[in-house]
Structure 1
Amino acid sequence: MNFPPNYLVDPFADPQKAADFFHQYLKEQETQEKTLHYLTHIEDVDIEADFKPHTAVDMTIFPVHEIVYNPRRFKTISVLVVDRSMPRIDGLDFCRTFQTSSAQKLLMTATPMQKEAIQAFNEGVIHHFIEKNELSFFDDLNEAIHCLQQDYFNSLTQSAMDHLNTRPHRCFKDAKFIELFYALIEKQAFVEYYLIDYSGSYLLFTKEGEPALLAVKSEEDMQNDYQLAEDNGAAKTVIQALKTREKLLFLFSPKDYARSE
């Protein structure tokens, strides 16, 4: 099968080896626990408790640093793609074995078995199914995997995102931002992305490990940065660039934030 370059795939021809591999994985879900801890850290940040509600130092880098330098993060399994017709085991029985797992189950099935696939979907045994004889099979498969990856991530992060969305200037549910974000992911073939501040900035990585930063600030944040630079005697070129929104202001630590009152 041909998968997009930003998909990390571990194929198995033997269903028993696949089952053994996934059983072992479920015993070692260290990466998922660390990811949830990192998201909880962002959720617990009380921006309003700080006397500076909008600063140039608002990123959560150190918890992310621990994750991105942990090679075990690539072992996190978000989607199981299972063929209904496998040697020695029925695909639905395979999915039932791991029904309580948070990994999304995608079943590839033949048209005569569609009724059983629908029933399995309604029972929560699988999350999606695709008919193998469709001409658009490969396109449908890749699209379904993409959607299920997002469903998996959303299921893990929903409580944190609900909390973040209650704060002002959030872009997480902005349709234009979401469209731009996923267009960027596809164009640059990013395989990882991490939320690093409360306003919606992300640290992204390609398959080769090349990092990139998507910096997101509200108009109010931008005006605050401009005022900060002006109040502290920054160079005129810096002040002008901030005023025209050509550059962003980032400071290394809160110690560097010394806005004049």
Structure 2
Amino acid sequence: MTDVRDLIRYCDDVLDAARFADYAPNGLQVEGERPLQRLVSGVTASAALIEAAIAEHADAILVHHGWFWKNENPCLIGIKGQRARTLLSAGVSLIAYHLPLDAHPELGNNATLGRRLDFIDMEPTALANGLLWVGRLAQPMTPASFTEHVSQRLARPALRVGRETGSIERVAWCTGGGQGYIEQAASLGVDAFLSGELSEQTTHQARELGLCYLAAGHHATERYGVQALGKHLAERFGLWHRFVEIDNPA
């Protein structure tokens, strides 16, 4: 059995959590009552994930999107109150890592997404606090074939805007809501930029920058880091672990 605080200290160190000025607290967000033997991971600490974790007799839930975001009402009322009651009644801990899990060079969302998409020569850049990555395709693709490749690998349709012709070889990416880094991506001389979401201005930026931009889904691009971390922790601490997919088209 593992003390959840020992696991948190390990995660804080491995993920270099103190380096990030984040939008929500990283680490142990809700302390449960039991030693840790069974761990469920998921993308977001929703009611559906909590119920699924309880059904699996989990002692803790590990997520990328936890609770207590900046500028959010901190009171445990409404939906948040119901989630908290369910979690606390079951004695389950909630563990969340946001930007540290995006940035980690092996276990992070960007690293695992790049591997999922078969990118090569991958590396984080010095831009956006290491959240903007760059790499290459093993073989050049057209914008249409690149879109199809990403859609197939992530099992959901990617939305393409911007450049429709030419060859895609050098790619930059930032998972989740990283579309705001599009101009920084263009400064790297890439052919395409991939993130999770599409803002109104992103279409115009992609066209004017001459980039192929893919919005591949916030949830879809951030499924893999938490799985990798959960698997790593299970091996390191001898835990039972399962990733639970709660579908989200966003």
TM-score calculated relative to the size of structure 2: 0.23
TM-score calculated relative to the size of structure 1: 0.22
Q: Which structure has more helix as a fraction of its residues?
A: 1
Q: Which structure has more strand as a fraction of its residues?
A: 2
